[in-house]
Structure 1
């Protein structure tokens, strides 16, 4: 029976979603054997795909987007699978091909799966999913496993040339790790999800490096702390993978508002990207390494396409400017390392009188570390929470901002209205702490702006 989009979305929400659960037994709950076993019952759609696989702590999504846009600029049809989403869970599954018109604010997720396609594929998948969950020796499928399966089916149906897959959590046990990719990338590794992945960088890196599985696969690594780098190098030696590192084999040089990259085969001077922050230039350098690494699989991308793809790349929610005068900037920074990178990007790219920090953090994150990094950036702090069971109560963050003007808003809309009332035209409102907060604020801000513009237009028409 064919489900409507609303019914399909409700059906997918019935599966356990570990993204919404702050604490659970990771190694007992997440099993790679389960997704492999299920995919075999639907003829292994992932085996029809050529893939690129991205793991890491910071910059996975941005790096995946850079790669997808460069491939698209070269004429390829590209599947892009990322998580989590900002506003609409359809953002996770996208197919990029030649674009006929530029994206506008609020419509940056071009190519995301249509509601009708999602409803149709969910209806198609449902009998197999329900049968499998009844008889599985590995337990019932999770939301991420079902959605990953749906992505594989969609990419196969759309005949994508290459699929770019971002891991959901970790790497070794992640559902995306059923792929045998042409190239793997490891973005910067730092402390996050320590309850699931481990208490040390070495333990976390071991989980991330679990996507490296095959002899001869090309691996591109961002600059890493010594502990993480050692684990990645050892994994590549064990599997026979060929490792290239940014900082050693691939070099990035700053040049004012532009930057240059010396890659594995070519040099790329005076590159420009829309994404703000030095860390995004590192992500772009990793992405160039991945694109050049495809040459080992006889996929060659033109230098002009690399330049254009980087410049075209949009990745909302990452130091994204929603409005000016006053500035409204959102970012999904959710650990201490990403908060530090955000602070650096704000100081280097914006001029403002006062900074109003709107902050909400998931309760399983390093609240003290994030607050410590952002405290000296803010003049005023509005503490809030996203609409998710993982959100920390804003009262838990209050003590980290002694000496600051502190306010509490119990929901994102209240925080937005309070920030709007406080901000002068020369101020900056920075919204961060988690992608849940950034996404909810973004949706609320854009919806409110549309309503106000619509109301102003109607008023103008009435007076005319």
Structure 2
């Protein structure tokens, strides 16, 4: 099978009219059946499983970076991808090759698995074949019934929980936390970021029932951010085994919490015979890259791209912009949740229509945003929307592009290509 044929097969699994599998135990039964057909790779992997509402991708990348800095062959699967499908499956920071992906797709049974189930199966099979020492796996939606929950993780990590996917996970933080806590194993090791009271109580209760050891960031592990600049965040993390002065080249004080959570997870691995030295912790975090997580990609005007898609992520983006850049901004966005949090900061908002059959149109979103912003312009074509926003922005302005992974991924590629082709400005 060619790489193009493999991508065509995977893309064919995404159909707007295809019903989702029921949100029940059937989901994991389907996943286990699929993995059984390809040799049960999940039973042969040591893993760290990362669930949560916000920060789970960044936290997973940080954990993988520290393990890699220690010299461990580290698999990483995160989702979704920005530009290319292969971003979802990495070993030691390198995407799976086109040839390897095509070969793995050819092995899979061409039956009814979903896109997500297929992607998880491909990642686990690739990690086993390449004999990774440890796989860091980001959960998709929830945790209890997510396709990744077939794993038996050495450490279960839960990043900050807030409201998202409520039509599936429940309307309250207690219900949502119960789903996230589904990744906790009997007598397992659990690391939790600071949580709202309802979520924290739920996680603590599940740990008591499962007799799991819980490490809570903010209680057992202390994080103190000492500086937050356009170069990243500096912090001191007092873990259970050492004190770590760290620098993380990601924007926003919330990344210090993500780093503290990642360090606590790495420390917990010591109980399993996997020790990461303090120097590897520092080097791993200093080398972290998380594209499109409040990423500054240009300075004239300051251009920030971000894939935040729920109110908690929007609040983090708003607070980071206020702290680091101040002033007004222009924004493109394709989700309603941004309006109340981000739009009031903007002088001009450009709305667009993402490539999704269920997406809100640029005009409909513009009607929503007009309640909050003085000037709103609807540009349905995505590339033209980005170009319009750039044309409106003066060198001293701030341009923010935020929305779905796919919209932001496209915009990031366009802007990087345009910057490379444009002579440096003085």
TM (norm. structure 2) is: 0.94
Could you say if the C-alpha distance between residues 23 and 339 of structure 1 is closer, same or farther in structure 2, counting changes exceeding 3 Å? farther
1:397 pairs with 359, 365, 369, which one?
A: 365
Alignment of 1:5-16 (within 5 A): 5-16=3-14
The corresponding residue for 1:385 is 353
TM (norm. structure 1) is: 0.86
Alignment of 1:70-109 (within 5 A): 70-96=66-92
The corresponding residue for 2:265 is 290
Could you say if the C-alpha distance between residues 227 and 26 of structure 1 is closer, same or farther in structure 2, counting changes exceeding 3 Å? farther
1:301 pairs with 245, 269, 276, which one?
A: 276
RCO greater where, 1 or 2, for CA within 8 Å and sep 6 or more?
A: 1
CA contact (8 A) 1:32 1:175 kept: yes
In structure 2, distance between residues paired with 1:415 and 1:22: 30
* Aligned-residue offset at 1:121: 1.3
Alignment of 1:16-415 (within 5 A): 16=14, 26-27=22-23, 31-96=27-92, 110-125=93-108, 129-130=109-110, 133=111, 140-215=112-187, 217-257=188-228, 258-269=234-245, 271-350=246-325, 354-361=328-335, 367=336, 369-398=337-366, 399-402=368-371, 403-415=373-385
| Structure 1 range deviating more: 295-304 or 255-264 | 255-264
Could you say if the C-alpha distance between residues 23 and 391 of structure 1 is closer, same or farther in structure 2, counting changes exceeding 3 Å? farther
In structure 2, distance between residues paired with 1:221 and 1:24: 30
In structure 1, distance between residues paired with 2:58 and 2:252: 12
CA contact (8 A) 2:25 2:145 kept: no
| Structure 1 range deviating more: 410-419 or 284-293 | 410-419
User: Helix, strand or coil: the match of 2:214?
Assistant: strand
Task: List per-residue Cα deviations over 1:405-431 (Å, max 9, x = no partner).
Answer: 110110220111101111111111101
* Aligned-residue offset at 1:227: 0.8
| Structure 1 range deviating more: 54-63 or 260-269 | 260-269
Task: List per-residue Cα deviations over 1:228-273 (Å, max 9, x = no partner).
Answer: 111111111111111111110011112124211111111113x111
In structure 1, distance between residues paired with 2:205 and 2:113: 32
Task: Tell me whether 1:421 sits opposite 2:391 in the alignment.
Answer: yes
Aligned residues: 417
In structure 2, distance between residues paired with 1:22 and 1:377: 39
* Aligned-residue offset at 1:390: 3.6
In structure 2, distance between residues paired with 1:47 and 1:76: 19
User: Helix, strand or coil: the match of 1:27?
Assistant: coil
In structure 1, distance between residues paired with 2:19 and 2:161: 21
Could you say if the C-alpha distance between residues 45 and 29 of structure 1 is closer, same or farther in structure 2, counting changes exceeding 3 Å? closer
Q: Please, which runs of 5 or more residues in structure 2 have no aligned partner?
A: 229-233
CA contact (8 A) 1:356 1:378 kept: yes
* Aligned-residue offset at 1:441: 1.1
The corresponding residue for 1:460 is none
| RMSD of aligned residue pairs (Cα, Å) | 2.0
* Aligned-residue offset at 1:213: 2.3
CA contact (8 A) 2:38 2:107 kept: no
Could you say if the C-alpha distance between residues 23 and 332 of structure 1 is closer, same or farther in structure 2, counting changes exceeding 3 Å? farther
* Aligned-residue offset at 1:395: 2.3
* Aligned-residue offset at 1:400: 3.0
User: Helix, strand or coil: the match of 1:67?
Assistant: helix
Could you say if the C-alpha distance between residues 426 and 381 of structure 1 is closer, same or farther in structure 2, counting changes exceeding 3 Å? same
CA contact (8 A) 1:21 1:389 kept: no
Could you say if the C-alpha distance between residues 357 and 316 of structure 1 is closer, same or farther in structure 2, counting changes exceeding 3 Å? same
